[in-house]
Structure 1
Amino acid sequence: MSKTATLKTAKAVKTDAAVKTAKTVKTGPATKPKVDNSVSSLIAANTIIKLTIPQADVKAGCQKVLAKLAKTTKAPGFREGKAPLELAENVIGQSKLIEKTFNDVVAHAYYHAVVDQKKQPLTQPEFDPISLSMEKDWEVEAHFGERPEIKLGDYQKLVETALKTIEADKTTDKAPAKAQTEAELRELKLRAIFKALAEGIRPAIPELLLRQETRYELDDLVKNLTQLNLKLDEYVAKRNITTQDLSNELAATALGKLQLEFILGAIAADVKFTATSEDFDKALAEIKDETTRAKIKADAQTMRQLEVSLIRQKVVDYLLKI
């Protein structure tokens, strides 16, 4: 476990995973999610890299795919998998061969291009075929989302202003600053701080990353509705909104979450917050069940999530003290 890791988006795909498990989705140029005009300017373009796959690699990949498919291909007059490759190729069809070959050779080319160009994708790629002639090199564009550049500026000033507003409202009858408990006041301050940071810094989020996070939001909503024995269309009808309204809401929620995570991550890096061994020990000591504690320590992903949580907490505490 690295002691120098900084805050990362909780659901963002790690670079290696995004590269090695690339899904070869054939698509046209990626389009932005449909959101209100007020937030459309906060959607950044995806990173695009051009892949050129040599004709020799295409043909080699095609022959490999053909040999594999031929093993389960039935042709007139031959038992399954026993037809000559030339005949099997006719049965399989060129479109299917190109599709299967595409999945193999493009994923391979994408992996090496990302490594060579030192890209750090946070999403699965989408591919836009430019030329797939079997007689020439293949040309494909790969679209993916990377970590946006966060220009923090004088973020301390934004936080100070937000906290002063909360303190000023406490002396009046203004809601919602009239918190009843310290916990409520802390929550009010955090909401004000997060809002001020998002509105002041306004980081733009890559379209594919926003689309991915919006899907997570939809999946969570559907899961919660299922537990209530409620279908999505029923939920939309009960709220008297359209599916486009719901889509806008989910995209806006996803955008806000991503902006906040990247901002907090940038602040963690700026202040050089880390999760130390002592931090881990203290957090794990609070888990009384030894079996549960052992499982957490043995699971790298869970420990990474704990690391993110510990660093985030340090950032939050730091912001509240500004």
Structure 2
Amino acid sequence: MAPPRDFYADLGVSRTASQEEIQRAYRKLARKLHPDVNKAPEAEERFKDVSEAYAVLSDPEQRKRYDAFGADFRRVPEDVDPDTWSRAGAGGAGGGGFGGFEGGVGGIDFEDLFGDVFARRRHGPGAGRRSGGWGSMPGADQEAQVELSVEEAYHGTRRKLTLSGPEGTRTVEVDIPAGVTDGQRIRLAGQGARGTDGGRSGDLYLVVSIRPDDRYRVEGRNIFTRLPVTPWEAALGTTVALETPGGETKVKVPPGTSSGRRLRLRGRGLPNPRGQPGDLYAEVQIMVPPKLSDQERRLFEQLAATSTYNPRERP
């Protein structure tokens, strides 16, 4: 008979691992083994094992029982004292070699030792109809990557996602709020894998990435965009229209503006539901006409002959 699985070993963590360490280990393995990205025949089975291990160890009560009763934690009645179990020789804490025995362990009959409470658990109404008689088990948390345009990140959007897990493939529609940032994780409570026998569903975590855009560069909540102006607009000053993720706005270009100058539009970056929005920075680019008319050439020649300005001369 094969030894019982060790949920800690399935996730590659120690028995003293924190909840954060357990969650990180599961996410790393889930990304590696998920059927959508790993087509190896053994990957799906391994993904199911990892998901089951995480579902147990991520729930404090389930983990406590697993640590106390090991592989039999689903079959031992809730009112059984772990010390009594251990003294009876039923096995060590954390899964030490007693899984898979139906009647008892080490010559001790479970029903004789714990009375009719255990019998009702195994043979009572509804026992074993779902989850192999394991009882209530919470669903695993799931993670999905979501790529957004800058406009979608600014305004928010609705997406339809296809998720795969131990229970199969399912489709969910999710609302993504306005103002999400690149790399942000959004928790959707109860939208993860379904629990069994009335167990709570896991959570769904959306990991946001903002698609590269020729018009915008996003850093945190701040947005950077180019603002092309003519030499005379930069020299004399002007007000020009600028397209932003939030719609068209007007930008005032001060007289004497040089290329590379950043004009700050306060609050026009990505929204922030919990605080100050980001800013939008318009980076000035002075653009020269690619082909001059005769009159334009004469005017530029006149300017060159008149002006004493030398940008290469130190002040």
**For this structure pair, what is the TM-score category when the shorter chain's length is used for normalisation?**
under 0.3
TM-score norm. by structure 1 comes to 0.26
Instruction: Name the structure where strand makes up a greater proportion of residues.
Output: 2
The structure with the largest alpha-carbon Rg is 2
TM-score norm. by structure 2 comes to 0.26
Instruction: Name the structure where helix makes up a greater proportion of residues.
Output: 1
Q: Give the structure, 1 or 2, with the largest relative contact order (CA under 8 Å, sep 6 or more).
A: 1
